[in-house]
Each structure stands twice: as C-alpha cells, then as structure tokens.
Chains A and B, each alone.
Chain A
C-alpha cells in the first residue's frame, strides 16, 4: 500500500448563479487545485455546477449530535415566527 494517502476534500457546488454552494460530496486529491479539477469530473459531468468550492475535510469543525441541548434554546422561542401573531385578515397582507 501507499506510504501516504491523498487527503480528503469536501466539495461544495453552486448549481447556478444566485444560489448557495451546497455540499455535493467528497474526494481525494493532493492539493486544492487538483481537488477542484477532480470535483469537476466527479460531481459536474452533467452541468451540475457553475462554481466549485473545496475545503480539506480536516478543517471542518462540526457540532456534536450527542450534545442534545445545542438547539434547545431556539425551540422554545416560537414568537420568532410570524404565525405566532394573530393579525386580522381585513388589514390585507402583512
């Protein structure tokens, strides 16, 4: 086997102008330039994108799903949603 495995990269693709880049998957490459070239061949063979971002997987920090209270605070704050308020139909769209 090889002495050293090529690092893993996460690939993000903007499918068309005006949209966010969205995670498409991952791949191995020696550096960012190769990661972008490989991403083009692996993830955009059918015009799926107009722009590609790559980032080495080890640089991504993720929240811990075991930490159950992470999103608790937001759950109780239903008054942040417009539907929380009763506004009469007569006044028109608001």
Chain B
C-alpha cells in the first residue's frame, strides 16, 4: 500500500474514532464501501422478500382491523426496502444492479424469510419475534458510521415499534382465546423461536466480518450480545402470554443477570443460508416472476414520460 493511501486510511479511521459520520462524497477505503454495499443491500433485500411470508395472509386476515394493520405493516416493509436501496445507491451502485443481484441469487437476504407462514398465528409471532429481533439490530444501526445508512435506520426504527406491538397483540388475543387458539399461538412460537435467534448470525467466534465492522463502527455490538439482549427482552413477554419456548436449557442465570439458552442448530442455519430452507426456491421464483411481469409497466411508464416531455418541447417551440 502506498504511503498516501495509508495516510488516507489513518485519517478515515480517526474520523470514525471521533464519531464523525462518513458521507457519500467523503473518501473511504474500498473495503468499507464494499462491506456497506453488501450489508445495506442484504438488508434492503430482506425487507422486500420479507413482505412475502406476511403478504400470504393479507387476504385471509380474520377481521377488517387485522387486515388493515397487516396491509400497513407490509407496506412499511416495502418502504424500508426503498430507504435502504437509496442508501446503498449513494455508494455508487445502481438500483438495477442491486435488483439483479437479488434475482440471480448473488446477494443474500435474511434466512428467516425462507420459513413458511402456515397459520394466522404466524402473523403474531413474526411481528413480535422477527421484527423484535430486527429492531435489536436496527436500533444499534441508527448509530452506524455511514450517514445515509444511519438516517435510513432512524426512519425505520420509528416505524418498527408498531410492527412488534401489532404482532404481540395478535399473540395476546390467541393466548387468551380458546384452547385451540392458544395451541395455535404455541405452535407458532415453537416454529419461530429458533429461526429468530439465528437472525443475529453466527456466534462471535465464528463470525468472519465482525472485527473489521466493529472497528469501522458499522456495527457496535456483537451478534452474541444482540442475541442475548433479545432473549432477555423476550422472556417476560413469553411468560406473560403463558406460553413456553422450545428450549429445555432456557433458564434465568442469577449470577450473569441474563437468561441462559441452549445451543443453536448451526447446521440448519447454514443449510437455509445455502438455499435449502423450506421456501428459498419459492421466494426467488416469486420475486423473479414479479420482476418479469412488471417489466412492461416499467417500460411503458418510461415511454409515456418520454412522450410527455417531447410534447412539452413541441408546445414550447410553437409558442416561440
């Protein structure tokens, strides 16, 4: 590395250390840029693909109130995807490239969305646990070192808390309902608990990108720290519902002041990441189909705008 680059990198790091945000036009190491493009686009894709498992229940919501709420929630996730795509674009990648990376499978999205939503209770468990886990991560990211990412996160976090509360409300209603409804809530919790814990990613010891991301203050807490915070916050909520988690090792540890929990099945995690989850193929097919079938709309809108511009020019020429 040339001494010039080295001093640029030192200056960059000292700005990070001084908590000065990095903005799009500022100099940044190529690896910082690449890491952010990867992370922000993965995050954006997760918001977009995350609309599918919940979208599955919009037409079958049990009441008009639930339906309006679910629709608004899924719409918010679309918004989150858009905020994040724009943040990624400030780093010099185009929207088309980002979308292509998703559709070709080059870019990943959160594995949690490769699990199926087989009952209405899943709308409760997802809002409560999946959005809850996402919030842990996103609250940390409101302080991330890259300005546009941090600002997108502030906006997202403001909207997320309704997502979690509406989910928990569904769980409360079911847990207080008939024995069948309570069983439905328990079944859903059983299925979503472990995948939610996996959302925080590999254990710290096995996490490849963590150290550099912490140094650059892209991340400020480790995967395990966030996971622990999530379990600690979720347990009183589980107890309030009168439900249980599918983990015989889960218990309060007085000494640590935290809940202990069992080992995560990392084989399952990696298998879903590598494309073998229950819904990976279905999710990709849905996105590819939507993109293909929407192509004529995108082209027609562009052609229409072009024609209107043309007409406006002709009009001006006539007047002149």
Tell me if B94 and A42 are in contact (CB < 8 A): no
Number of chain B residues whose Cβ lies closer than 8 Å to a Cβ of chain A? 30
- If A27-B86, A30-B305, A34-B301 touch, whether A5 touches B27 (CB-CB below 8 Å) is no
Which residues of A line the B interface, CB within 8 A? 1-6, 8, 25-28, 30-31, 34, 41-42, 45-46, 62, 64-66
Tell me if A27 and B299 are in contact (CB < 8 A): no
Interface Cβ pair total, 8 Å cutoff: 55
* 5 residue pairs from A and B, CB less than 8 Å apart: A1-B99, A34-B305, A45-B72, A45-B76, A65-B26
Asked if B75 is at the interface (CB within 8 A of a chain A CB), the reply is: yes
Smallest CB-CB separation from B158: which chain A residue? A46
Tell me if A1 and B301 are in contact (CB < 8 A): no
Per DSSP, chain B at the interface is helix
Among A3, A25, A62, A64, which residue has its beta carbon within 8 angstroms of that of B83? A25
Smallest CB-CB separation from B152: which chain A residue? A25
Per DSSP, chain A at the interface is loop
Tell me if A42 and B79 are in contact (CB < 8 A): yes
Tell me if A65 and B25 are in contact (CB < 8 A): yes
Q: Shortest distance in angstroms between B223's beta carbon and chain A's nearest beta carbon?
A: 28
Which 4 residue pairs are nearest across A and B when measured between Cβ atoms?
A30-B305, A31-B305, A26-B86, A30-B301
Asked if B304 is at the interface (CB within 8 A of a chain A CB), the reply is: yes
- Residues of B close to A41: CB separation below 8 A: 79
- If A28-B95, A31-B308 touch, whether A4 touches B83 (CB-CB below 8 Å) is no
